[in-house]
């Protein structure tokens, strides 16, 4: 190998090294800015192959996909002057990569820190004018939508990013506040339970009184009907007895005497002290009842 061949090979290696160091590819999931001595000279890259000057230009790449800012729980004060531990997160993506690079100096940690501060400031302002119920359930969706809209406008201008969503993952009360809220909720539930029990007892008393009244009315009505039936039966029996007595008074007296004998000697322990010629033995002495 002579000197000419070595020169050609060296030239080819230098050319290959120059091409490899100047060519770069922008992917679909990336955004990039081209810097020249620290200043942005181009940022409108679309996916494809590009070239830059080695040692003069510097390329900075950024993730163009949706990113998450997961803030640490922050202590906030609500309208009831009670502290809450609020844990939130936000979704965002780079919209203007040049503005984003200038605002953060190319450090994503700066973007996360700035967004976290903006989110916490807005949550603190909104929670400060609302009570616990409103921020937990009552107006939570409207609150998040308002914060997202407001933060997006500021983030586009200051950080070159689009805020897609802001959400509160969790709201905790400090232990001393939790105990106070628990006691208040417990007192409220106990008051509600006592009210329900009082209403139940009142309804039970009304039902018992109504039932007692109905029992008295039913028993009175039954007693009246029984007395009426008994009176009618007695009247009918008396009429029958009177009819029978008028038709055959002797037979009537005979049957009454038999009934009296039966009832008098129903028990062996029964004892009668009576004269032998008493009227009571009239039909025992003579079948015709003759004296």
- Sorting pLDDT into bands at 50, 70 and 90, what band is 256? confident
> Tens of pLDDT along 45-99?
899 998 888 888 889 999 999 999 988 888 888 887 878 888 889 999 999 999 9
Q: Write out the residue range of the structural domain in which residue 264 sits.
A: 248-285
What pLDDT is stored for residue 183 in this prediction? 83
CB distance 36 to 57 below 8 Å: yes
> Tens of pLDDT along 135-190?
776 677 788 888 898 889 989 998 899 999 998 888 887 776 667 777 888 898 99
Average pLDDT, the chain: 85
What pLDDT is stored for residue 194 in this prediction? 95
- Does any domain span residue 232? yes
Which CATH number fits the domain that encloses residue 136?
A: 3.30.479.30
196 and 239 in a single domain? The answer is: yes
Domain count, the chain: 4
What pLDDT is stored for residue 288 in this prediction? 64
What global pTM score does this model have?
A: 0.56
How confident is the model over 21-38, as a mean pLDDT?
A: 89
Q: How far is CA 85 from CA 72, 176, 264, in A?
A: 10, 12, 99
Nearest one of 129, 143, 152, 30 to 76, comparing CA atoms: 129
What is the number of other CB atoms lying within 10 angstroms of the CB of residue 56? 11
Q: Which residues of 83-116 are buried (b: 16+ CB within 10 A; e: fewer)?
A: ebebebebebebbbbbbbbbbbebeeeebbebbb
Nearest one of 148, 141, 93 to 118, comparing CA atoms: 148
86 and 164 in a single domain? The answer is: yes
- Helix, strand, coil shares of the chain, percent, nearest 5, are 60, 20, 20
- Sorting pLDDT into bands at 50, 70 and 90, what band is 291? low
> Tens of pLDDT along 86-133?
888 999 999 999 999 999 888 888 888 989 998 888 888 888 887 777
Q: Is the pLDDT of residue 241 over 90?
A: no
154 and 71 in a single domain? The answer is: yes
Q: Is the pLDDT of residue 211 over 90?
A: yes
Nearest one of 287, 260, 259, 286 to 274, comparing CA atoms: 260
- Does any domain span residue 265? yes
- Does any domain span residue 181? no
Share of the chain above pLDDT 70, in %: 96
Q: Is the pLDDT of residue 234 over 70?
A: yes
Q: How would you classify the pairing of strands 30-36 and 161-172? A: unpaired
- Does any domain span residue 150? yes
């Amino acid at each position: 190998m002579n000197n000419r061949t070595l020169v050609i090979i060296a030239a080819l290696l230098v050319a290959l090294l120059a091409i490899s160091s100047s060519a770069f590819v922008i992917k679909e999931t990336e955004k990039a800015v081209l810097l020249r001595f620290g200043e942005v000279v181009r940022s409108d890259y679309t996916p494809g192959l590009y070239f830059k000057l080695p040692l003069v230009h510097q390329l900075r790449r950024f993730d163009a996909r949706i990113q998450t800012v997961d803030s640490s729980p922050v202590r906030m004060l609500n309208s009831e002057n009670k502290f809450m531990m609020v844990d939130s997160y936000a979704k965002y993506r780079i919209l203007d990569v040049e503005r984003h690079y200038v605002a953060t100096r190319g450090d994503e940690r700066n973007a996360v820190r700035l967004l976290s501060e903006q989110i916490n400031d807005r949550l603190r302002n909104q929670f400060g004018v609302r009570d616990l119920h409103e921020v937990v359930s009552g107006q939570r969706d409207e609150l998040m939508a308002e914060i997202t809209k407001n933060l997006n406008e500021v983030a586009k201008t200051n950080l070159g990013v689009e805020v897609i969503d802001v959400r509160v993952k969790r709201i905790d009360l400090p232990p001393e506040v939790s105990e106070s809220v628990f006691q208040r909720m417990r007192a409220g539930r106990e008051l509600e339970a006592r009210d329900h029990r009082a209403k139940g007892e009142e309804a039970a008393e009304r039902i018992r009184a109504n039932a007692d009244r109905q029992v008295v009315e039913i028993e009175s009505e039954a007693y009246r009907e029984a007395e009426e039936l008994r009176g009618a039966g007695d009247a009918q029996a008396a009429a029958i007895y009177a009819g029978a007595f008028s038709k055959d008074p002797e037979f009537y007296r005979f049957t009454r005497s038999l009934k009296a004998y039966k009832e008098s000697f129903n028990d062996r322990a029964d004892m009668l002290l009576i004269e032998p010629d008493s009227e009571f033995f009239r039909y025992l002495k003579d079948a015709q009842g003759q004296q």
